[in-house]
Structure 1
Amino acid sequence: MRFRDSASFVLETPIQSEMDIQEILVCFYQTRKPNYQFSGERHLNYELTYVDQGVLYTEVDHQNYELHAKDIMIYYPNQFHAQSTDKDHFCSYLTLSFFLNGTLAQDLKNKVFSASKEMQETLKEFVSSIQKDQYMNKEFSLVLLKKILILLCQCEHKKETPDIDKETKDPYLNKILDYIHSHIETNIRIEDLCEHFSISRSTLQVMFKEQLNEAPKEYISKLKLERAKERLQTKKYTVSEVAYQLGFSSVYYFSRKFKKTYGISPSEYMDSIRK
């Protein structure tokens, strides 16, 4: 048996798990109508919430957060948490309650994460696995949950937006993605990328389509909007400032793209964030 693309290696130090999931206590998927209110609770276990559709507001230790579709948040043991929806939005979300031997890294506490494609696919596999009555499937569900938590830890460690893929199987494309991420605050044009990397426009289009299933322009726009969403959440900048910082041609264009993607204008999004 041969492993392709692998150099010879020897494991010199034993690997010990730092994350031991002891038990999954609760797993359910539900849809809440507008004006739903859950007064809150605290318990001894961890709880993961993943928003599939809609908008969910949550209060954690007297701080308010807003979760949109594909967002994840983890409540830690003994953390008070309440949940609600507003008068305009429903919410469908997945809840996982689990015990760990030991403690989960504090890096994930009191933060909202945007799930990467890999996290989304792993969550789908988890839900499918936990419902099947097959040999070792329940054990496999524990492994999948552990994978989700590890991916969250890795994303926080790298300080990257998990929703945007930055690594592919193509080293050359990875260099292009690194360049885009480091220059996202500028007006990145496709012709500039082609000139900088000495590549034709058609070749660049094919690389993105085959590896990321989207055009370069769509990728750049998506990344800019993710960064914009992060900055608007802080409420440190105006809509105009965010548009200018991320190299949008105009505030009008930025607002139109934002609303088309998230279903809400940037100003409405800022007003809806309860802090």
Structure 2
Amino acid sequence: MYNKTTSAYFLKYGKITDSFRDHKEFKKKTIRITDKKVASLTMYDQPVYVEMVDGMAIIVIADADQNFEHQLFVIHRNFKVYPDQHFSFITLTSSSTINLYMNPNTRRRSQDINKPIVYEPIRPNLMISEICAYYYMVKSPGYKFFGESHRYFELSFVDSGTLETNVEGVEFTLNNYDLLLYGPNQYHTQEIKSNEPCSYLTIIFESDIKDYASIINRVFHCPREYYQILDKFVKMTTSPLPYAKDLMISFIQELILHLLQYDLEEHITKPSTPIHQHFENELLEEILAYINEKIYEPLPVDEICDHFSISRSSLQNLFRDNLKVAPKQYINEAKLAKSKVLIKKSENTISEISSMLGFNSIHYFSRKFTHRYNITPSEYAKKIYED
């Protein structure tokens, strides 16, 4: 984050003031700045007053006593720079105009620096230029796609089940919440070898990713953060909002950026101490096992609190800090995920599944299922049957 000239950190070098307007004898010097770097600094033996006229700029101030270690401050309001400070300006916009006011007899001296100070503009390193296609597929055991290659990137994310894929002769297995990215012109096949159905999301897109070698031909197990990005992508596919498609592109771009730095990111939020972390891990593991055990029953949050002798607020914090979700939402997500598995098995009716999982009514279950997956339970069952 940048500091501004109005921050307390700037008081070492100058201060905000308009007092130069009271000094009619001051001379004015107008500077037009077009550079994004500085190779020399200027020092004045008397105070210099700075007035921003046009554009946006940074003042670079370096400490001569500390080998010209520099500080950057975004110019905000008019200010003065104290005598004997080494400083210069870098424009943030295409160009900037600044007025300097000083006493006519002020003396100026320049100082070259060994290494130029460069401002790096914030610009995107990659762009998703087009989403060509996206599908949510539910495939039955025995399904086999004999393969294709094309000039686009293709992402496959397994929502449930197991997907086998062969990429240029190399076999990969994707399980629940696994993701794989195919690179341009990579020949790949897909197959369901297990005895369970598999549902997965495929997104085909065009991008200018230059360093994609590290993220193709690799299975990523998605942390919840990545899953939530894909969830938001899916919701936007049926959204009537005017910028829904722009959001779809931005979500895929965000996901690819995460994949590019996957090995550098920490995928688990850590509490303040190892002891606390160990305690939270064990408690959370026990609670999640309890939820799974009670998945076929109505499970109020208060029941969990009573069973584990934990306050409601502590439970909320435990889930928020480690899973980024509220306990009630996690329970609903777990029940809905289980319902998909039961529907795929085709051993029970939708009404029976609703009752088995402790929903108040089939209408409530259907509404929750549709809101979560953008498809009704009966349509989902029909899709599995058709596939």
TM-score (norm 1): 0.58
Per the alignment, residue 39 of structure 1 pairs with 146
User: Compared with structure 1, are the counterparts of its residues 49 and 210 closer, same or farther at alpha carbon in structure 2 (3 Å cutoff)?
Assistant: closer
Match for residue 166 of structure 1 among 268, 288, 293 = 268
Aligned positions of 1:184-263 closer than 5 A: 208-209=318-319, 211-212=321-322
Distance 1:174 1:85, change over 3 A: farther
CA distance in 1, matches of 2:175, 2:212: 24
Aligned match for 2:193, one of 86, 94, 99: 86
The amino acid that maps onto 1:106 is: A
164, 177, 184: which one pairs with 1:57? 164
The structural deviation recorded for 1:101 is: 2.5
Q: Distance in 2 between matches of 1:41 and 1:17?
A: 31
Name structure 1 gaps, 5 residues minimum.
Answer: 1-6, 181-187, 191-201, 215-275
- CA contact under 8 A between 2:180 and 2:218: conserved in structure 1? yes
Deviates more, 1:114-123 or 1:124-133: 124-133
Q: Secondary structure at the match of 2:166?
A: strand
DSSP 3-state at the match of 2:231? helix
Q: Over alpha carbons, which structure has the higher Rg?
A: 2
- Equivalence for 1:136: 243
Which ranges of structure 2 fall in alignment gaps of 5 or more residues?
1-7, 10-71, 75-118, 284-309, 326-387
* Alignment partner of 1:24 is 2:131: yes
Q: Using the alignment, how far apart are the partners of 2:236 and 2:282 within structure 1?
A: 43
> Over the residues paired in the alignment, what is the CA RMSD in angstroms?
3.0
- How many Å separate the matches in 2 of 1:56 and 1:15? 39
Structure 1 outlier segments of 4+, above 3 Å: 7-12, 177-180, 205-210
Pairwise CA distance, 1:44? 0.2
Whether contact under 8 Å (2:162, 2:175) holds in the other structure is yes
1:109 partnered with 2:227: no
Q: Can you list the C-alpha shifts for 1:80-107, whole angstroms capped at 9, x where unaligned? A: 1100001512110000000013435221
Q: Partners in 1 of 2:275 and 2:171 — Cα distance?
A: 34
Change (3 A) 1:19 1:114: same
User: What amino acid sits opposite 1:132 in the alignment?
Assistant: S
- Figure out how many residues of one structure are paired with residues of the other and give that number: 181
The amino acid that maps onto 2:268 is K
Partner of 1:252: none
User: TM-score normalised to the size of structure 2?
Assistant: 0.42
Whose RCO is larger (CA < 8 A, sep 6+)?
1
In 2 relative to 1, CA 81–178 (structure 1 residues): closer, same or farther, beyond 3 Å? farther
Alpha-carbon distance in 2 for matches of 1:94, 1:20: 21
Task: Please state which structure has a larger fraction of its residues in strand.
Answer: 2
Counterpart AA for 1:54? G
> Identity of paired residues, percent?
26
Asked if the contact 2:163/2:173 (under 8 Å) is kept, the reply is yes
Give a deviation string over 1:5-31, Cα, whole Å, max 9, x none.
Answer: xx9885842012111110000111010
CA distance in 2, matches of 1:106, 1:93: 23
Give the stretch that moved more between structures: 12-21 or 66-75. Answer: 12-21
- Shift of the 209–38 alpha-carbon distance from structure 1 to 2, 3 Å rule, reads closer
What letter is aligned with 1:73?
Answer: L
Alpha carbons of structure 1 residues 10 and 148: separation in structure 2 relative to 1, 3 Å:
farther
**SS of residue paired to 2:217:** coil
AA partner of residue 27 (structure 1): Y
Name the aligned partner's letter for residue 211 of structure 1: D
Partners of 1:153 and 1:177 lie apart in 2 by: 32
Q: Given the alignment of the two structures, is residue 125 of structure 1 paired with residue 227 of structure 2, yes or no? A: no
Q: Give the deviation of 1:157 after TM superposition.
A: 3.5
> Does the aligned pair in 1 maintain the 2:162–2:194 contact within 8 Å?
no
Which structure dedicates a bigger proportion of its chain to helix? 1
Q: Check 1:210–1:139 CA distance in 2 against 1; reply closer, same or farther (3 A cut).
A: closer
Distance change in 2, residues 1:74/1:178 (3 Å)? farther
The code of the aligned residue for 1:20 comes to M
The answer to whether the 8 Å contact 2:269/2:321 transfers is no
Q: Name the CA distance, whole Å, in 2 between partners of 1:155 and 1:177.
A: 26
Question: How far apart are the structure 1 equivalents of 2:171 and 2:268?
Answer: 30
Q: Distance in 2 between matches of 1:157 and 1:109?
A: 17
The answer (yes or no) to whether the contact 2:153–2:183 under 8 Å persists in 1 is yes
